[in-house]
Copies of this chain bind each other. A is one copy, B any other.
Amino acid sequence: MAEILHRIGATTTPGTVYAALTTIDGLAGWWTVKTKDAGDDVIRFRFDAPHGEDGFDMKVLETVPAELVRWEVVDGPAEWIGTRIRFDLKQEDDFTVVLFKHEGWREPVEFMYHCSTKWATFLMSLKEFAETGSGHPAPDDVQISNWH
């Protein structure tokens, strides 16, 4: 099993980062503006694609205020379904550190290389959003390659 790991730190409180990970307005502020509560603890994330939309549905598995958020991917690209994502938060100096893990990839396919870099740029958007109230969610996200 392969996994994607990242670490960022935002100069704000753990509570502020936690809100950015657990509210629709927060998630829409750094990942994709098309974020919706789909009921039954599922959050629906959508992105504009060449022929319509694509995206991910995340089941919220666990939340611990200001400390932890865990999701499982219940719909989306085949490579993502069944994978799990976690955000661990902790305070260090003036920073809230986020340890990010996207685990359970069956194979390190080229799409996983892409998703790793894309997660990094979205986590930098999370940092910016948590620090300033304004990030770069899709469709205003950073283009990293021909796969966007």
Contacts and interface: CB of A to CB of B under 8 A. Distances in A.
A3 B4 CA distance: 9
A99 B121 CA distance: 17
Contact of A144 (B108, B113, B127): B127
B9 A144 contact: yes
Interface string A103-120: 000001010111011001
Contacts of A121: 120, 124
A6 B93 contact: no
The count of identical subunits is 2
A108 B3 contact: yes
Contacts of A97: 145-146
B117 A8 contact: yes
A145 B108 CA distance: 27
A43 interface: no
A117 B7 contact: yes
Given A120-B116, A121-B124, A110 B146 contact: no
A89 to B, nearest CB: 13
Contacts of A93: 146
Interface string A1-23: 01111111100000000000000
